[in-house]
């Protein structure tokens, strides 16, 4: 008995659709809430939005007007998250590395006198509100997640940054005052001493 081999066309299986990944923007969308020019960007793996690209802006330099900074997060989907203004920037940049084991992103800034650390803390819809200090109405350099007169230490062996925040009691004057510092560490929801 001779067996013959017959070739049959493959049967179509359930339809599979491959979705092409959406590329992160190399430039922020126009009119997205920040003025000036992009000076840098860095990516963050957000727990609910996927990769988010964070752009840093500075307005042009002028002898009469301080430069203003702005932070603009844009999700991989193209969704623009709320812009975060920062006042009077002498310096603005990402920490190196920009994120640590907490999943938070760290941006360093200097509005003219002391350095500061801005922390972007992911939440379900984007990032927690920076919580600008209500006692300093109209300013954007001190707040719940904007640590003025502060620096980053680390990351340590657990791949986490510590925020070292200083305070000058200005007694008898700020030039001759006593400066103290405290180290703030992530407790899972905030930076505490």
**pLDDT attached to residue 19:** 46
Please give the tally of structural domains in the chain: 1
Q: Are 68 and 86 in contact (CB under 8 A)?
A: yes
Distance CA(161)–CA(163), nearest Å, equals 7
* pLDDT at 1 (0 to 100): 44
116 assigned to some structural domain: yes
On whether residue 22 sits in a domain, the answer given is no
Identify whether 13 is part of a domain.
no
Is the pLDDT at 169 greater than 90? The verdict is no
**Residue 67: domain span:** 37-192
User: For 37-91, what is each residue's pLDDT tens digit?
Assistant: 899 999 999 999 999 999 999 986 554 556 788 999 999 888 899 999 987 667 8
With helix as H, strand as E and coil as C, how does the chain read? CCCCCCCCCCCCCCCCCCCCCCCCCCCCCCCCCCCCEEEEEEEEEECCCEEEEEEEEECCCCCCCCCCEEEEEEECCCCECCCEEECCCCEEEEEEEEECCCCCEEEEEECCCCCEEEEECECCCCECCCCECHHHCCCCCCECCEEECEEEECCCCCCCCEEEEEEECCCCCCCCCCEEEEEEEECCCCEEC
pTM: 0.82
Quick one: pLDDT at residue 27?
Answer: 83
Q: Which residues pair with 80 in a beta bridge?
A: 74
Query: Looking at residues 25-36, what average pLDDT do you find?
Result: 84
Q: What is the pLDDT of residue 6?
A: 44
Decide if 12 is inside a domain: no
Query: Per the domain annotation, does 28 fall within a domain?
Result: no
Residue 8 counted as domain residue: no
Tens of pLDDT along 78-136?
889 999 998 766 789 999 999 999 999 999 998 888 899 999 999 999 999 998 887 77
Residue 173 has pLDDT above 90, yes or no: no
Asked if 106 and 161 count as a contact pair (C-beta separation under 8 A), the reply is yes
The verdict on residue 44 lying in a domain is: yes
**pLDDT at residue 154, as a whole number:** 94
How would residue 7 be classed by pLDDT, with cut points 50, 70 and 90? very low
Report the pLDDT averaged over residues 24-34.
83
């Amino acid at each position: 008995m001779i067996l013959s081999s017959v070739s049959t066309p493959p049967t179509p299986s359930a339809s599979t659709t491959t979705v092409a990944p959406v590329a992160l923007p190399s430039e922020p969308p126009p009119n997205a809430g920040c003025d000036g020019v992009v000076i840098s960007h860095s990516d963050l793996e957000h727990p609910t939005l996927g990769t988010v690209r964070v752009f840093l802006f500075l307005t042009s330099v002028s002898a009469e007007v301080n430069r203003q900074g702005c932070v603009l997060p844009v999700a991989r989907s193209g969704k623009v998250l709320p812009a975060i203004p920062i006042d009077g920037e002498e310096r603005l940049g990402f920490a190196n590395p920009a994120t640590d084991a907490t999943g938070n992103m760290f941006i360093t800034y200097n509005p003219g006198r002391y350095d500061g650390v801005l922390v972007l803390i992911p939440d379900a819809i984007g990032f927690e509100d920076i919580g600008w200090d209500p006692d300093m109405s109209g300013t954007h350099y001190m707040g719940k997640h904007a640590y003025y007169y502060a620096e980053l230490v680390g990351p340590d062996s657990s791949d986490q940054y510590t925020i070292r925040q200083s305070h000058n009691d200005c007694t008898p004057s700020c030039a001759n005052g006593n400066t103290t510092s405290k180290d703030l560490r992530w407790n899972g929801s905030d930076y505490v001493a």
